Amino acid sequence: MFDIYVLGQQVLNGVILGSIYGLIAVGYTMVYGIVGMINFAHGDIYMISAYVTAVALAVLMAFGIDSVYLALLLTMVMAVIITGLYGWAVERIAYRPLRGSHRLAPLISAIGVSLVLQNYVQIGQGARTQGIPTLIEGSLSIGQGDSIIQISYTQLLIILVAVASMCLLTLVITRTSLGRDCRATQQDMVMASILGVNINRTIAWVFTIGAMMAAIAGVLVTLNYGTFDFYIGFVTGIKAFTAAVLGGIGSLPGAMLGGVLLGLSESLFSGFINTDYKDVFAFAILVLMLIFRPSGLFGKPEVDKV
Amino acid sequence: MSDSILTVNNLSMAFGGLIALDKINLHVAPNAITALIGPNGAGKTTLFNCLTGFYVPTAGSMTFKPAGTGEVDLVMLLGSGWQRQDMYSPRRCGRRLYYKLFGGTHQIVRRGITRTFQNTRLFMGMTAMENLLVAQHRMISPLPLSGLVRLPSYRRAERSAIELAYRYLDEFGLGGVANRLAKELPYGQQKKLEIIRALCTNPQFLCLDEPAAGLNSAETKELAAMIRNIKNKMGVTIFIIEHDMSLVMPISDQVIVLDSGVVIAMGTPAQVSKDPQVLEAYLGSDYDQKHAGDDA
């Protein structure tokens, strides 16, 4: 029954799924770190990116760009920029006017934005499941016959791009002035503004960067599965949120690792136990985590900000 | 008084029914150390909070006039309040609109006013050097993502920011701690680092809120020397709240006494320490009678 190849394949699938969760979880964790609230519109930002990918590919085809890799690169750039703008707009419309008001108010307005985005896409693009053709064919495989571990080139691309963008994000946060501004604002917003940091701009960048990471995830998932609808943001968003909590919300490496852990456990569970209950298993992990270690793997215990 | 760097006119700050500052008028002379003293609850920190854009005052104005530039209305920088004269001058109206859009606390520090807090508010999870770099960011990066592609202009600016930070650290005896996390430093060094961080914003006007709180007497002496040093070498005007009279009286050029939201005395340390109203505020209203009894 137990098969090393099945295990290998499931681990591989888990890492791929997990890196997607990680990319989205980064957005949740950064926003939580800086404004102390969950951005419930984040899953739908990811959904927007899937649609932008399809539209961008169609536009590029219409302009006669034949090279798949050039088309992919341009699509990625367009998706990151346009989705980033959506993220910026969410902050501008749903969060900034409500900063300083009751703690729950921005939460509700974010849920509102989430509903608006879903319905706006549904009206604009139709409620049916949409799809794009497979762009990258072929796969690598190890072994033969039934004993085989297979990774398609698209999946390889997912891992590479995910790792690259995580590294880039880490560099931005640790090495640049924008990253230092973000960390300073996260630790003490008032003090940062007294030292001349433009708080509004920094918070807007955090939302935008989070949306850009979700955009990368959206492009990669769309390339891999080929189908999407206006509702994909919900479940994926909640899963990514689980990953962020698992790693310790507010912690960047925590979100990345939490994503991979969640992806792995989900994939191993569905490979060896039961596919139908994989979501139940993922959320059961969340519940256990919240009971036994509420601050997550990397999180610090909650300290009241003065 | 045209030679003052800061002029506060009829400034009031009310929190609902509580009047914390009641029509304050005061002047602060440039290149000097001015102390703000008064009993607890007198409104000293409230005044600091108004000055540094933490609170928007209920009424009145604060005019900042650093050497070599024009006057700045500090309340306007926060992007709040319309005044009738705005309607008559297109230039004023335009500026008001600009600050409505882009105003905020960070605009105050851009004009050269900065402060420290009574309890240390360093970024504890960052190194000492990073703390000092955050204070210099407005000099480093006009474009937020220029640090990612490491434009030559960004690299140059960051290098000079690091140099300046090291210079200040060495000057105030913290040379060895640049790469340690702020939370690992002993309290005395944290206090110093906080003042150095404020200096890194290149201020003309530095507000210190009880810098000696929690320091021992040796550290307090060192602090007094540091403050004098900052004034003399860097030409920074210093506005200081302090309860420790042994620190304040020798170093300050001017003392302002605040009680229950009103300025009750203003002058040199010698003048103020003899002022009957000040003695009353500090020692209670029966002081005079007791004193009268002593004389008899």
Res. B296 pLDDT band, cuts 50 70 90: very low
**Alpha carbon B144 to chain centroid, angstroms:** 28
Among A173, A176, A185, most B C-beta atoms within 10 A, so best to mutate, is A176
Of the two residues B3 and A31, the one the predictor is more confident about is A31
Three-class DSSP category at A126: coil
Does any domain span residue A282?
no
Q: Which residues of B257-269 are buried (b: 16+ CB within 10 A; e: fewer)?
A: bbbebbbbbbeeb
Question: Packing angle between helix A105-125 and helix A68-90, nearest 10 degrees?
Answer: 140
H or E segment and range at residue A114: helix A105-125
Angstroms from B162 CA to nearest CA on chain A: 12
Does any domain span residue A261?
no
Summarised one tens digit per residue, pLDDT across range B224-270 is 888 888 888 888 999 999 888 888 888 889 999 888 888 888 888 88
Mean pLDDT over the full length of chain B: 82
Chain A hits for B52, CB-CB cut-off 8 Å, are 194
Chain A hits for B126, CB-CB cut-off 8 Å, are 180, 183-184, 187
Does any domain span residue A114?
yes
A175 closest CB neighbour out of B105, B117, B147: B147
Three-class DSSP category at B6: strand
Residue B110: CB atoms within 10 Å? 15
Does any domain span residue A286?
no
Chain B hits for A198, CB-CB cut-off 8 Å, are 104, 106
**pTM for the structure as a whole:** 0.85
Rounded CA-CA distance A104/B291 in Å is 59
pLDDT for res A211: 96
What lies within 8 Å, CB to CB, of B118 at 6+ separation is B45, B209, B210, B213
A177 closest CB neighbour out of B114, B115, B140: B140
Among A191, A203, A209, A298, most B C-beta atoms within 10 A, so best to mutate, is A191
CB contact under 8 A, B123 and A188: yes
Summarised one tens digit per residue, pLDDT across range B102-158 is 777 778 888 888 888 888 889 988 999 999 988 888 777 666 667 677 778 888 888
Structure tokens belonging to residue A60: 């590029």
Does any domain span residue A196?
yes
Written as tens digits, the pLDDT of chain A (306 aa) is 567 888 888 999 999 999 999 999 999 999 998 888 889 999 999 999 999 999 999 999 888 887 888 999 999 999 999 999 999 999 999 998 888 788 888 889 999 999 999 999 999 888 888 888 888 888 888 877 777 888 899 999 999 999 999 999 998 888 888 888 999 999 888 888 888 888 888 999 999 999 999 999 999 999 998 889 998 999 899 999 999 999 988 888 899 999 999 999 999 998 888 888 888 888 898 899 889 888 888 876 554 433
Domain with CATH 3.40.50.300 in chain B: 6-112+203-295
**Alpha carbon B87 to chain centroid, angstroms:** 32
CB contact under 8 A, A187 and B124: yes
Does any domain span residue A56?
yes
Percent of chain B with pLDDT over 90: 5
Does any domain span residue A106?
yes
Summarised one tens digit per residue, pLDDT across range B146-184 is 767 777 888 888 888 899 999 989 888 888 888 888 888
Three-class DSSP category at B161: helix
pLDDT for res A1: 53
Q: Could you tell me if B126 and B181 are in contact, meaning their C-beta atoms sit under 8 angstroms apart? A: yes
Domain count, chain A: 1
DSSP string, A143-189: EETTEEEEEEHHHHHHHHHHHHHHHHHHHHHHHSHHHHHHHHHHH-H
- Chain B residues with at least one Cβ partner in A under 8 Å: 52-54, 104-106, 108-110, 114-115, 117, 121, 123-126, 130, 133-135, 137-138, 140-141, 144-145, 147-148, 154, 158, 197-198, 201
CB contact under 8 A, A194 and B197: no
pLDDT for res A2: 65
Angstroms from A291 CA to nearest CA on chain B: 27
pLDDT for res B151: 78
A195 closest CB neighbour out of B53, B125, B201: B201
**How far apart, in Å, are the Cα atoms of B75 and each of A124, B10, B58, B78, B241?**
46, 13, 10, 6, 22
Q: Give me the total of CB pairs closer than 8 Å, taking one residue from chain A and one from chain B.
A: 93
C-alpha closest to that of A216 among A59, A50, A87: A50
Question: Packing angle between helix A4-35 and helix A177-187, nearest 10 degrees?
Answer: 70
CB contact under 8 A, B148 and A171: yes
Q: Could you tell me how many residues make up chain B?
A: 296
β-bridge mates for residue B19, sequence order: B14
Summarised one tens digit per residue, pLDDT across range B12-44 is 888 888 888 888 888 888 888 999 988 888 888
CB contact under 8 A, B114 and A194: yes
Residue B240 main-chain phi, psi, to 5 deg: -130, 130
pLDDT for res B293: 45
CATH 2.40.50.140 fits B6-112+203-295, yes or no: no
Three-class DSSP category at B259: strand
Provide mean pLDDT across the span B275-285.
74
Residues 187-226 of chain A whose Cβ lies under 8 A from any Cβ of chain B: 187-188, 190-201, 205
Rounded CA-CA distance B220/B245 in Å is 11
**How far apart, in Å, are the Cα atoms of B86 and each of A262, B7, B76, B89, B204?**
58, 20, 11, 6, 28
In the numeric block, the tokens 């536009």 are attached to A59
Which residue of A lies nearest to B51 if distances are taken between CA atoms? A194
Does any domain span residue A283?
no
